[in-house]
Every structure is written in structure tokens, then in C-alpha cells.
Amino acid sequence: MKESSELNTSVLTAVEALHPGEAVRHLFPFFTEGPGGCYLDSAATTQKPHSVIDTLRDVLVNHNANVHRGAYRLSAHATELFDEARCKVATYIGARSERSIVFVRGATEAINLVAYGAEHLFNEGDVILLSLLEHHSNIVPWQMLAKRRNLTVAFTEITPSGELDMSDYKSKLATLKPKMVAITQLANSLGTITPIEEIVSLAQKAGAMTLVDGAQGVVHLGVNVEALGCDFYVFSGHKMYGPTGIGVLYGRLERLEAMQPFMGGGDMISYVSVEGSGWAEVPQRFEAGTPAFPEAIALGAAVDFLNRFSRKEVNAHEAELVKHAIDTLRAEKGVTLHGPAVTGGPQTSVCSFSLDIVHPHDFATIADTFNVQVRAGNHCAMPTLRKLGVPATARMSFGVYSCKSDITSVVTAIREARRMFDR
């Protein structure tokens, strides 16, 4: 197979560079033809650029034939586009080989795939070490595995400002000797950036396998999986300007090769007889059935889109928006900030807060009347919020199209909501 470093990237250099901010909104039909407004829920899902929507349509109209099947040209071409998308993803995250890229439905499915596929590598009493910053999708599959194999799930503590407690992490690594460490790169609930390089390196030294939840990190921080050295890295297409229904499990080849298939069916076998079946090579071994190839190809278009930006500029843009949100809300009456904002710790793309007299759900409903979309609730991170002692927060989260005027609109909504509830 072709190594990802051999890919032809000339197409990428030929297109115009993009800069994050209001100026890229014209590339998103959501803003030009759709409802538009102050969309501040990009951590849940991002809006899609023309290029991704057009690619999806183009595949369905012009290249629609099942992949890995037909001897006819249409199918061969669809297969080529699908394979090319895998290479684009591999290059984007710094994977040495596209064979390390397993297409799945999203981060959730990727973690479940590891929890089932690597199940036989765990023995009774083994420990899986997570953190109190995790999304439910990086907790529940491990709890299910623990139940099946009689394992223990342990959690690294967080500080009152929602940062990972590294001394607790080191002590749990030393005392619990976990078989698997599964931790997020960037927490969706609070925007906490974890010291993922140190986390992975310490886990490796302690002899643990590592899985990094990159659902937010892949798009808001960036990653080079080879440099990071993790065993697994997972993310979802729809949070990086791609379609829903497609996501990625990156695995080091030797780790993927040691895993058992999770689902059986067509495409994942080398042979089938009435006596039994043999498995295909990695990554096809984990891609049973017809894959979501139009979505995968459109994810490749999302990667092309992201490659038009400088990673440095995107990171600076989103960090600047978070800083502006924190500074603005800190000065606002009745607002409590949650997460690293409290102490000035590392944070990006997300700002979580609550109001003194308005529940986050009520606030989100009122904000909506100003065409401001913010998320309210526990953000699928109940253990995080419980630890912080708050039942719910309101959360604004940013993308390349977000700008400071969105934050001004949030402030207008906050003042109106407090006025309505101030009796």
C-alpha cells in the first residue's frame, strides 16, 4: 500500500490560503443560505463548508457504486476516491501509513471498537485509567468492558478549575499499574487542554496502552500521532467540518493487528467457508459491510479545507476568542465562569459558564430568541460537572467562522435573561 508521506499534495498548494474569522463565513452555506446567526455550538458539531457539501453530492450523483466490489470503472473509481480519503486523513494526523486509519462512524464507535477488539488482552483485575474530564463516550465503553472482564475503571482527579491533577495521575500510574490509559486531549465540557504528550509518555513508561480522545483536539489543537506516540487516537468527522456518520480510529499497526474484529460480515474477511472464516488485513478487518464511502470521501474534502488554514492561525484565533469571552464574562454581573478560566489554565475553543438567577437551559432558550445558539446541560460529562459541584453549565464553543461579535450577542442575551428573571 502507498505510504501517506508519498501522497500528492500539489492540489493543496494550488488553492488559496484561508484565514479564520468572519471572512470565511461565505464558504459556509449555513451562514449564506441557511439560518446563520451566532452559532456557538461547534464543539457539538461544526457547520459544513461548500466543498464538503459539494463533494458529498458529487459522489452520490457521479461516483456512486459500491467500493471494493465491482470490476467496472464506476466502482473502481469510487474505491480510488475512498482510498485517497484514507490517505488524506493519515497525512493530516501524521500517521506513517494509511493502514493505521480505520473508518468508523465517529469517536464513540472508535472507542467501543477498541474496548471490544482488545478485550482479550485484558485479564481479570486489570485497571483502565481514565480522567474526570472525559466525555461519556470515553467512560461507558470501558465500564462495559470492565463488567465483561471483571476489570477496574479508575479516574484521575481534576482540580477545582477543571485541570487534570498530574500528581494524582502519576500516583495512580505507579500504584494501580493500569493496562490502558484513555484520556482526552481537549475537554468538550470546559475547554481544558490536557498535557497529552506528558500523559502518553508517562503511561508508556509505566507499560500501559494509550488511547487519546481527539474528538475536540484534532480540529482545535491539531495532532501528530507519530510524534505523540499514542497507541490509539479517535475522532469524528462532523466536529471537523466533515459529515456525520464518519469518524476515525487511528491505531499503531501492531496494536490494530493484535485486535480481534468487532463486527463480522462482508469486506472484513480473507475467506469464508462453512467451517469458518479468516480475517482480512488491517484496517479492512474492522470495516465490516459497505462503508460510508461518500461520507469518508467528504471527510477527505474537510481535510483539504482545513489544510487551507495555517494550524497556528486557527489555534491563535480560537484561543483569542476564548480569552475575549473570559475577559468579557468576568466583567459581567451574575456570571460564574467554570474550568481553567478560573485560574488562567490552558484552555481553548470552549467557554463554560453559569448565571446566578437563570438556569443554563432557560438561558439557552432565551439566547435562541436572539439567534444565539449555545449548549446547556452536562455536555455528556456528568462526572466532570459533579466534581465541580454544578449540575449544568451554558457553553459557547468556537470554530473557524466564529468571531468576537458572537460573544457580544451572548452578553446581550445574558443581560436580557437576567432582566427577565430578576423579580
Phi, psi of 209 (to 5 degrees): -75, 155
**Residue 380 among the catalytic residues:** yes
Euclidean distance between CA atoms 333 and 323, whole angstroms: 18
In whole angstroms, the minimum distance from the beta carbon of 25 to ligand PLP comes to 23
Name the active-site residue from 87, 230, 351, 380: 380
In whole angstroms, the minimum distance from the beta carbon of 213 to ligand PLP comes to 5
Euclidean distance between CA atoms 307 and 13, whole angstroms: 9
Torsion of CA 301, 234, 132, 361, to 10 degrees: 30
In whole angstroms, the minimum distance from the beta carbon of 23 to ligand PLP comes to 27
Given CA atoms 132, 137, 138, 140 in this order, what sign does their dihedral have?
positive
In whole angstroms, the minimum distance from the beta carbon of 189 to ligand PLP comes to 8
The closest alpha carbon to 247, from 191, 292, 189, belongs to 292
Euclidean distance between CA atoms 4 and 198, whole angstroms: 26
Q: Which residues contact 300 (CB under 8 A, 6 or more apart)?
A: 55, 81, 84, 85, 88, 89
Q: Are 104 and 115 in contact (CB under 8 A)?
A: no
Instruction: List % helix, strand, coil for the chain (3-state, nearest 5).
Output: 45, 15, 35
Closest CB to ligand PLP among residues 20, 191: 191
Closest CB to ligand PLP among residues 45, 310: 45
Start-end of H helices in 308-423? 311-330, 360-369, 382-388, 404-421
Residue type (1 letter), 7: L
Closest CB to ligand PLP among residues 184, 348: 184
- How far does CA 60 lie from the centroid of its chain? 26
Closest CB to ligand PLP among residues 18, 211: 211
Closest CB to ligand PLP among residues 88, 375: 375
Closest CB to ligand PLP among residues 106, 300: 106
Binding site for ligand PLP (CB under 6 A): 43-44, 106-108, 135, 137-138, 184, 188, 213, 215-216, 236, 380
In whole angstroms, the minimum distance from the beta carbon of 308 to ligand PLP comes to 23
Euclidean distance between CA atoms 398 and 189, whole angstroms: 13
Encode 43-91 in three state secondary structure: CCCCCCCHHHHHHHHHHHHHCCCCCCCCCCHHHHHHHHHHHHHHHHHHH
In whole angstroms, the minimum distance from the beta carbon of 139 to ligand PLP comes to 10
381: DSSP letter: -
Q: Which residues contact 34 (CB under 8 A, 6 or more apart)?
A: none
In whole angstroms, the minimum distance from the beta carbon of 375 to ligand PLP comes to 10
Closest CB to ligand PLP among residues 108, 409: 108
Which residues are annotated as catalytic?
380
